[in-house]
Amino acid sequence: MKAFSIDRYGKNSGRLSEVPTPKVGPHDVLIEVHASSVNLLDSKIRQGEFKLILPYKLPLTLGNDLAGVVIEVGPQVRRFKPGDAVYARPPQARIGTFAQWIAVHQDAVAFKPVNLDMAQAASIPLVALTAWQVLVEAAQLKKGQKVLIHAGSGGVGTLAIQLAKHLGAFVATTTSTANVQWVKALGADQVIDYTQQHFEDVLHDYDVVLNSLGGDVLKKSLQVLKPGGRLISISGPPTLQFAREQGLAWPLQQVMRLLSYGIRRKARQRDVSYSFVFMRADGAQLQQITALIEAGIIQPVLDRSFSLESTAEALQYVEQGRAKGKVVIRIK
């Protein structure tokens, strides 16, 4: 089958090649991939940024999102059958959705929302699960609370704004001048144009901050939180708790502890908490997200689409950081 794979880590590594069709395990579904989408995570994996905590074996097919049709199921699979339209974020150890087929454990798979086409559905899993696991699980965001979602026009930001509004929160976000009205239309109550204002000078007494940006923004985000507030980052630095959850060796656990020591200390000084969330595959949560999509509460936001043959170009486009919503790879 055709797949976009890397033989080595590097910014421009990767090529379209022929790779073996995946083997189907007892609990797996084999999916013909109709569409995938590009995430910054794909670029970071390609460049080797996660090779210490995600020790992939090379060559590696990239891709963390999919929508497609089930063509075969393992003997222990009961929920899905050939012909089912599904979508998923595969478990991190078994990524590879920039390909014509992929075998995915049934627990990571959900039925595709009936009101989305394959490209729209493929844009959802990773960013929606990230937003869910930050806002619902980690933050336990409640009606009437205030949340700041950085980078509101990005893939995670567009979904997180919609989910936070559904949960009844007051939502602030940051974006550039060109996107101010656009993120307001998504549901943001207050929009900070970072080219004109410093968010830390404007926003105060927030319950939660979802950070997806760099260390400087992370530190400044502490200033907008009220005592007892929660700073949750999906861009790092990772924590000791994360390292333990990943089952990393003791030396790596200590590295993670040291990497996050500074921000954790600053958070304690302000009587707030810091945590790092690395999204995990979860078909049950994705099915709950499906219900919100079919009810019209959450809608996908697509920027551009590329062919499988143009995957390298799609990765380069996403790395520029200017995409409004998600970038899709159309495979079938």
With a CB cutoff of 8 Å and minimum separation 6, the contacts of 269 are none
Judge residue 31's burial from the number of C-beta atoms within 10 Å of its C-beta, 0-12 exposed, 13-18 middle, 19 or more buried. Answer: buried
Say yes or no: 175 and 116 in one domain: no
Q: Looking at residue 253, which CATH number applies to its domain?
A: 3.40.50.720
Q: How far apart are CA 316 and CA 216, in angstroms?
A: 24
Q: What is the reported pLDDT for 272?
A: 98
DSSP one-letter code for 99: B
Q: Are residues 151 and 119 in the same domain?
A: no
Judge if 156 and 232 occupy the same domain. yes
Q: How many domains does the chain have?
A: 2
Q: Does residue 119 share a domain with residue 42?
A: yes
How is residue 326 written in tokens? Answer: 């998600």
d(CA 44, CA 263): 22
Answer for the pair 297, 288: CB distance below 8 angstroms, yes or no: no
Token pair of 138, please? Answer: 């980690």
Structure tokens at 249: 């060796």
C-beta of residue 124 within 8 angstroms of C-beta of residue 112: no
| Per-residue confidence (pLDDT) for residue 189, from 0 to 100 | 98
Specify whether the CB–CB gap between 129 and 279 falls below 8 A.
yes
Burial class (CB in 10 A: 0-12, 13-18, 19+), 144: exposed
Residues 87 and 218 in one domain: no
- Asked, for residue 289, whether it belongs to a domain, the answer is no
- Residue 258 to residues 38, 240, 265, Cα–Cα distance (Å): 31, 8, 11
Question: Domain containing 40 — which CATH number?
Answer: 3.90.180.10
Q: Which residues of the chain have pLDDT under 50?
A: none
Handedness of CA 253, 258, 261, 263 (dihedral sign): negative
C-alpha angle 53-56-59 in degrees, rounded to nearest 5? 155
The DSSP-derived string for 113-172 is PTTS-HHHHHTSHHHHHHHHIIIIIIS---TT-EEEESSTTSHHHHHHHHHHHHTT-EEE
Bridge partners for 232 per DSSP: 210, 275
Residues 135, 88 share a domain: no
Q: Is residue 283 part of a domain?
A: no
Same domain, 30 and 137: no
Q: Is residue 288 part of a domain?
A: no
Which residues are within 8 A (CB) of 278 and not within 5 positions of it... i.e. 6 or more apart? Answer: 234, 238, 242, 246
Tell me which residue range forms the domain holding 263.
Answer: 126-276
Q: Give pLDDT, residue 125.
A: 98
Burial of 20 (0-12, 13-18, 19+ CB in 10 A): exposed
Other C-beta atoms lying within 10 Å of the C-beta of residue 54: 17
Q: Which of 135, 63, 120 is nearest to 95 (CA)?
A: 63
Both 54 and 86 in one domain: the answer is: yes
- Within a domain: 147: yes
The answer as to whether 173 is a domain residue is: yes
| Two structure tokens written together for 98 | 């920039």
On whether residue 12 sits in a domain, the answer given is yes
Whether residues 75 and 214 fall in one domain:
no
Are both 37 and 135 inside the same structural domain? no
**102 and 134, same domain (yes or no):** no
The continuous run of DSSP H or E covering 83 comes out as none
Regarding whether 272 and 141 lie in a shared domain, the answer is yes
Rg (CA), the chain: 19
Q: What stretch of H or E contains 216?
A: helix 215-221
Angle between helices 283-294 and 125-132 (to 10 degrees): 100
Paired sense of beta strands 225-233 and 273-276, if any: parallel
- Domain membership of residue 294 (yes or no) is no
Report if residue 198 sits inside a domain.
Answer: yes
pTM for the model:
0.96
